[in-house]
Structure 1
Amino acid sequence: MSEPLSQPATANLLTDNPELYEARFPDPERLAGRWAEDCLRRYGAGPRVLDLGCGTGRDAAHLHRAGRTVTGADLSDAMLAYARAQHPGPEYVRADLRQFALPGREFDAVVCLDSALLYCHTNAELDGCLASVRRSLAPGGLLVAEMRNGAFFLGRTELLDAPRVNGFTWRGVAYESTTTLYVDRTAQLLRRTRVWTADDGSEPAEQRSAWRLLFPLELRHMVASHGFEVLALYDGPGPRTEPEWREGDAPGAVTDADRLHLVARRLN
């Protein structure tokens, strides 16, 4: 039986309930993991991969099945426990992507999907993350990241004009989420308020989060300042674009739509 909304384990219903997260954001075709693997192959990455902000471990496990030696890192103990049980193969470790060290480990690639990089809200946090990523990579190693595109919100309001309502059923309970986004221009954040309701008699639960809005040239500059060469930066196709990425699709050439996809190489 599911836990009532009025009694979440901590402040985030989805990250504290990984099964619920996968029910809300299903990826049966492992599209995100396949896209990441395609990038790693396209740009010649070696076998040792760090999945930074690995969440439930779905993508880390896909990369493991593709023949790579994978470490998944996340700050959520609930997500890590679920990943170890449900998506075995990678090694899973606790780490804060804003600044981390994994002694004794060196990687050929760091993968950071689903806007995880944008949980670095300040320039100091972004610097800490990128410096940590660089230290973790072997010379010539790749950073592959997928995230929202701050430039999309210049003059566009379609994601801001009205709440988005999504419904799904998990363990016999019908859930509905109503999500409202707004741009905090001073902090350069996309702030999200999500209200959860369920038909199990529990009270509605309101949760708040935010992503840093990065612009393409800003991202290029920050990555370069930490000793990376940008190999590709484009809006689509990708695992969360319309249309979705499919096997054989080449990277795009513009950065106009809602998502950004980054591939950068650590310089020696």
Structure 2
Amino acid sequence: MKKAIVLSLALTLALGMTGCAKTENAPAAESSVETVSEASSEAAEETTTEAAEETSTAAAEEASKSEGVLNYEEYMAAELDSEVVVETYVQAKQSWWEDKATVYTQDQDGAYFVYNMACSEEDYEKLVPGTKIKVTGYKSEWSGEVEITDATFEIVEGDTYLAPVKDVTAMLGTDELIDYQNQYVAFKGMTVEAAGQDESGNDVAYLYNWDGSGTDGDDLYFSVSLNGETYSFVVESYLCDNTTDVYAAVKNLQIGDVIDMEGYLYWYEGVNPHIISVTAAK
């Protein structure tokens, strides 16, 4: 009888404890579901917010362009000799002569070489690096170099932009390189080769003009190699004259030197960068 009573009490106690356990665990389960639900909701809100911000930014960039202005993709798709209008940023000035200016420009998507643009000497002084300009001219090509010619411009007040340098060393010898035409680029770890010979028949590291016909103050041509291929680079004297550090650096090159360079990815019958910096390879 006692065993029966004890057993009965034990069963009653066990059932009571089981009920408590379920009651105590239930709120925890609900809390977990609520936490997951809240986290999912927050993640969804963040994703929606980020997407909205990206859309808003893209829309703002498009809205910032004046009516009729081409973006870089549209500019590249335009037919040669057609009129084009772009908004871009001055990166460097090559020259001014008789109210004509030649400038290197670039935006966040690509670069535009503007050749002999109508420009007063007074306005030329205003074209400091970073200045935004609206250029109207004609898309042209000369020996592979795509450029804007017969252009006029106006300065656009507001934001400025200086392009970061793009390392294109690995793209040398590939079809991909031309996609960066006229951009501010870097070449690293290239070896100086003989550019030609002097009057005594000795190999030299550079030439005045492409054929050695020039004198100090003219363009400096030099050759550099990578992976068995040799390329001709130039210090354009209108851009960097014989008083600049880069002009002096090239004149001090020795065949076999390994160097890093920066410049603008100009094209003439193939890649022919206008170099603005030469240093020993790091």
Of structures 1 and 2, the one with the larger relative CO (CA 8 A, separation 6+) is 1
TM-score, normalization: structure 2? Answer: 0.24
Q: Computing the radius of gyration over CA atoms, which structure comes out larger, 1 or 2?
A: 2
More helix by percentage: 2
